[in-house]
Amino acid sequence: MTRSRPASGPAGLALRPAAAGCWSVTSSEQLCLACGLCCDGTLFDGVQLEPGDDVRRLKSLGLPVTLSRGRNPVGRFPQPCKALCADRTCRLYADRPRQCRIFECGVFKEMQAGRTDPAAALRQVKKARRLADRVRKLLLQLGDTDEQRALGERFFRMQCRMEEQPADPAALATFADLSLAVHRLKLLAHDKFYTRPPQPSAK
């Protein structure tokens, strides 16, 4: 799904030196550095730019931004994000789009509000990452090696392939496992990670 809601707030961090030879990392930053799900194609399939985002600048920094056709073109780039590093920091942190600046997932919000402790929040992140890794492993077993696409797109493409082409019993069994893994990941994402915009109060 496209990230119509904002992308990541403190995720993809640029760490701050606290003193010579060491780094200061808050519990919030530790959570995001352990996660990266809002950037790696697990939760979203892309990021939509907003007015004020410098499309030319983002392109020059290596993001594959495309513009929609129409009177008011809208910029977008796909996930997994090209700026996400192997250690889950962001190489474009200072120049990241607005959505990436203001999004905070549900797990992060719950921890910030004190409704869950950092250890419990980290367990939720690790659970989600295990499920996402399970999905990737099953996709690979079925022949999908395109790790440059978001998980949702890869699953949809595999689903179409399985419907259009006859498959042997082993492949069908693997696809059944994949469908279950995707379902479990979606349930967890909607329960713990996706957030809803605040609703206006009734008058």
Question: At a CB cut-off of 8 Å and minimum separation 6, what does 162 contact?
Answer: 171, 172, 175
Q: How far apart are the first and last CA of the chain?
A: 33
CA nearest to 99, candidates 76, 125, 128: 76
pLDDT band at 202 (very low <50, low <70, confident <90, very high): low
pLDDT in tens, 30-64: 999 999 999 999 999 999 999 999 999 999 999 99
Residue extents of the structural domains in the chain: 2-104, 108-193
Question: At a CB cut-off of 8 Å and minimum separation 6, what does 5 contact?
Answer: 99, 103, 194, 195, 197
The pLDDT of residue 165: 86
The pLDDT of residue 2: 43
CA nearest to 162, candidates 148, 146, 176: 176
The pLDDT of residue 198: 57
pLDDT in tens, 62-121: 999 999 998 889 999 999 999 999 999 999 999 999 999 999 999 999 999 999 999 999
Coil, helix or strand at residue 50: coil
What tokens were used for 129? 């990452």
pLDDT band at 197 (very low <50, low <70, confident <90, very high): low
User: If you average pLDDT over residues 141-161, what whole number do you get?
Assistant: 97
